[in-house]
Amino acid sequence: MNPDFFNVSNIMILVTALISYYALNNHSFFEKATFRPYLINHSREWWRWITNGFVHIDYSHLFVNMLSLYFFGTNLLYYLQSLAGDFSPILFLLFYISAIAVSGSYSYVRHKNDFSYSAVGASGAVSAVVFSCILFDPFSKIYLYFAIGIPSWIFGLLYLYYEYYMGKRQMDNIGHDAHFAGAIYGLLFTLMIYPQSVMNFIAHFTS
């Protein structure tokens, strides 16, 4: 088997799948891991900032997030390898874990006094991974429904608009705020470690 299969991104997929499986069969654990801004604010249950990214509402939720992480996580590791060498797995892990927390920051501000609000899932962190990949290679193709290929930078703009719009309307139970915040974090992270990415993007249109 290809040793690259056992990279840190795929290990995170395995860990998340195992924890999510356990949580779906243990309601008490699921509740303790859930992101609840009210309890973070009033009961200082700080672990919820991170643990929520390792549990999911159901298996379809888990599958979609982990499938996205499978495709984009390995790509991001490749980009990080060119910048950080042997340190790239640690950098990826720090980025991914921090993205879980950062993606929940806006929801925390909005709902820290709302006892009924809760959220779970790795969607925000996965969005951060996807948008980091987009900034590293904005002219690669992202395939919608595995068939419709569009430049990743165009996909990114459409995605940000959609998540911002849906987050404002609050018409469903999807964590659009976390998706948007995670995406922005992914862009900022990439700008910090690879500022040349913006110049490369501009140069494509001016050369």
Model confidence pLDDT, tens digit, residues 104-162: 999 999 899 999 888 999 999 999 999 999 999 988 888 776 677 788 888 888 888 88
Q: What is the mean pLDDT of residues 152-177?
A: 78
User: Which of 115-124, 181-190, 193-202 has the largest mean confidence?
Assistant: 181-190
What region, left, alpha or beta, does residue 145 occupy, with left being phi > 0 and alpha being psi -120 to 50 degrees? left
Q: Where are the alpha helices (DSSP H) in the chain?
A: 8-24, 27-33, 37-43, 48-51, 59-84, 88-103, 105-111, 123-136, 152-169, 176-193, 196-206
pLDDT interval class at 165 (50, 70, 90): confident
Close Cβ partners of 69 (under 8 Å, ≥ 6 residues apart): 9, 12, 13, 122, 126, 129
CATH code for the domain defined by 3-206: 1.20.1540.10
Residue 15's Cβ-side half-sphere holds a number of Cα atoms within 13 Å equal to 13
Exposure string over 88-105, b if 16+ CB within 10 A, otherwise e? bbebbeebbebbbbbbbb
Burial tier of 4 (Cβ tally within 10 Å: 0-12, 13-18, 19+):
exposed
pLDDT over 80 at 163, yes or no: yes
Say if residue 1's pLDDT is above 50: no
Across 91-108, average pLDDT: 95
What residues form DSSP beta bridges with 75? Answer: none
DSSP letter, residue 35: B
pLDDT value for 77: 94
What's the CA gap between 132 and 80, in Å, rounded? 10
Q: What predicted TM-score, i.e. pTM, was given to this entire model? A: 0.90
Rg of the chain over CA atoms, in angstroms? Answer: 17
Give the integer Cα–Cα distance in Å for 107 and 86: 35
CB contact at 8 A, 93 and 105: no
Burial class (CB in 10 A: 0-12, 13-18, 19+), 166: middle
Given a contact cutoff of 8 angstroms between Cβ atoms, the answer to whether 57 and 25 are in contact is no
